Amino acid sequence: TCTKCTKGRFQDEKGQASCTACVAGKYGDAEEQTTDTCKPCGKGKYSSAQGAVADSQCNSCSPGKYSAQTAQIAASVCISCGAGTYTAEGGLSECATCALGKASVVGSSVCVACLPGEKLVGSTCAVCDEGRYSGIGDTTCTKCTTGRFQDEKGQASCTACVAGKYN
């Protein structure tokens, strides 16, 4: 008797001694296939396994990375999200843009508001210069008002001049 090809394998020729495994990056979820009907791992996924039998055997790109291609065979196809974008979960085909007032660095899985003493510049946070300050999530650094000063970078407030001094 002849043995049917199992999931993850096919045979498209008569009189063969074995079945051919689905190649890496693809899987076969049906038995007794007579043609190469192996399905590709979807966007945001990859698999180095030959003869995979289910989509669940395809690995997901990790959070902070994505892949817009199908049938990929290695994690190296997963691309880091650019600054100002992110993927909160794995297995995605594109990165989302950070919400207004939030930033991220390359390869981020989250976006964050800039810290006190920083301002949002494009899609990243930049430290405020001396004489300026900012609060959490600010998009600008504010100049210290008359009678107050700040002689350090990256500060959340200005200090009042002491009695007998002014600026």
The confidence score (pLDDT) of residue 75 equals: 95
The confidence score (pLDDT) of residue 39 equals: 96
Report whether pLDDT(24) > 90.
yes
Question: 9: buried, middle or exposed (CB in 10 Å: 19+, 13-18, 0-12)?
Answer: buried
Whether the predicted model's global pTM rises above the 0.85 cut: no
Q: In the structure, what pLDDT confidence band is assigned to residue 149 with cuts at 50, 70 and 90? A: very high
The confidence score (pLDDT) of residue 166 equals: 85
Distance CA 107, CA 67 (A): 13
Query: Please, which residues have CB within 8 angstroms of residue 158's CB and are 6 or more apart in sequence?
Result: 133, 144, 145, 148, 149, 150
The confidence score (pLDDT) of residue 40 equals: 97
Q: What is the pLDDT of residues 98-130, one digit of tens each?
A: 988 889 999 999 999 999 999 988 888 899 999
Distance CA 56, CA 61 (A): 13
3-state SS assignment for residue 96: strand
